A and B are shown apart, each in its own frame.
Chain A
Amino acid sequence: MPVTDKKCSVNNEYAFASETKFLQQARNLVAEIATDCGFSEQIVFDIKLAAGEAIANAIEHGSPNGKSNSIKITCYCENDDFIVIVRDEGRFKKKLPVGTGDNVNFRGRGVLIMLALMDKVIIDETKSGTSVHLSKRYR
Chain B
Amino acid sequence: MKIEVTKEIVPVIEITGEVDYFRAPELESAIDDLILDGNRNLLFDFSKADYIDSGGIEVLIGTLRKISKVGRLNFVSSNDDVVRLLDLVGVSRYSTFSLFSSKDEAIEDFKEVLKKCQ
Contact = CB atoms under 8 A, between A and B. Distances in A.
B54 A24 contact: no
A122 B88 CA distance: 21
B50 to A, nearest CB: 9
A23 interface: yes
Contact of B21 (A46, A56, A102): A56
B81 interface: yes
A39 interface: no
B24 to A, nearest CB: 10
B55 interface: yes
A102 B93 contact: yes
A49 B22 contact: no
Contact of A53 (B22, B54, B84, B90): B54
A49 B81 CA distance: 10
A27 B20 CA distance: 11
Interface string B7-28: 0000000000010111000000
A73 B24 CA distance: 23
Interface string B50-94: 010111011001000000000000000000110011001110011
Contact of B51 (A42, A49, A102, A109): A49
Interface residues on B, range: 20 to 34
A17 B57 CA distance: 26
Interface in A48-104: 48-49, 52-53, 56, 59-60, 101-102, 104
Contacts of A112: 89
A56 B22 contact: yes
A102 B53 contact: no
A114 to B, nearest CB: 9
A138 B113 CA distance: 46
Nearest to B58: A106
Nearest to A101: B90
Contacts of A23: 20-22
B61 to A, nearest CB: 7
Interface of A: 20, 23-24, 27, 41-42, 45-46, 48-49, 52-53, 56, 59-60, 101-102, 104, 106, 109-110, 112-113, 116
8 contacts: A45-B81, A49-B53, A49-B85, A53-B53, A56-B22, A104-B89, A110-B21, A112-B89
